[in-house]
Amino acid sequence: MDTSLLLFIAATFVLAGFVKGVIGLGLPTIAVGVLGVVMAPAQAAALLAIPNIATNGWQIATGPKLGSTLRRLWPMLAAICIGTWAGAGLLQQEKDGSATLWLGLALVLYALVGLKAAKLRVPPTWEGWLGPVIGFATGVVTAATGVFVLPAVPYLQALGFDKDELVQALGLSFIVSTLALSAGLIGAGALNLTVAGHSVLALVPALAGMAAGQFIRGRISAATFRLCFFAGLLGLGGYLCWRSLG
């Protein structure tokens, strides 16, 4: 890699890490989107493996209720693995950007609903069957796009977590998606020791950006966090739509 490409990748990870630090998500969405300018989606997803694992691990560790959240979400998390492995190979096959376009449109729609203060809620009695359905669908979307926000993010947001609990729950969902996707990429040959080494280097700017973002999140109110959360989703969705049509 030449110097200009390295600087481009580093800047991308700083930006993506910062957004993740503020709202708890956005690292793969931004990084896969921006890096798609200079590499294939599967290559970008492989480069994200270590930063995704580390940043989501950090996000999980700094949350308030890991045990209870894990017990509540494990059926969804297990189904994410099954869905990702069922869709193995879809990311390498995506050439026309259609999957990314639909993902972007769904994010925009969900963000607009959230910004209008519409509160989606999942009844507790639904979680037993709806969680695995959401998890499987999220796994297939992950396999097709390298991005793991839908439909997991709306589902988790509708479970009534507070600000820090939601960020921790997102971290759990994302780290499971990352591990499942990485297994598929290893099987497809897109993630090897050389790429893993580059992925380790990408961790430094990602963590620096995330630390700055968490500093900001720790100093904003729940209402401001909600606004940032949905505005961030709107921006991510709009960007995915623009990139798929570009």
- Annotate 198-220 with DSSP letters as a single string: HHHHHHHHHHHHHHHHHHHHTTS
Q: Is residue 88 within 8 Å of residue 188, measured between CB atoms?
A: yes
CB atoms within 10 A of CB 160: 12
**pLDDT of amino acid 33:** 75
Give, for 144, the enclosing helix (H) or strand (E).
helix 127-145
Instruction: Count CA within 13 A, CB hemisphere, residue 90.
Output: 20
Nearest-angstrom CA–CA distance, 21 and 214: 4
Torsion angle defined by CA atoms of residues 245, 17, 13 and 157, in that order, rounded to the nearest 10 degrees: -30
Nearest-angstrom CA–CA distance, 228 and 234: 10
**pLDDT of amino acid 15:** 92
Q: Is residue 181 within 8 Å of residue 146, measured between CB atoms?
A: yes
Q: Is residue 83 within 8 Å of residue 139, measured between CB atoms?
A: yes
The one-letter code for the residue type at 22 is: V
Domains of the chain, residue spans = 3-245
**pLDDT of amino acid 104:** 81
Walk along the chain (246 residues) and give the pLDDT tens digit of each residue: 678 888 999 999 999 999 898 888 888 888 877 887 788 777 888 899 999 999 999 999 988 889 999 999 999 999 999 999 888 777 666 555 676 787 788 888 888 877 876 678 999 999 999 999 999 999 998 888 777 888 998 899 899 998 889 999 999 999 999 999 888 888 877 788 888 898 999 999 999 999 999 999 889 888 898 888 888 888 888 887 887 776
**pLDDT of amino acid 136:** 97
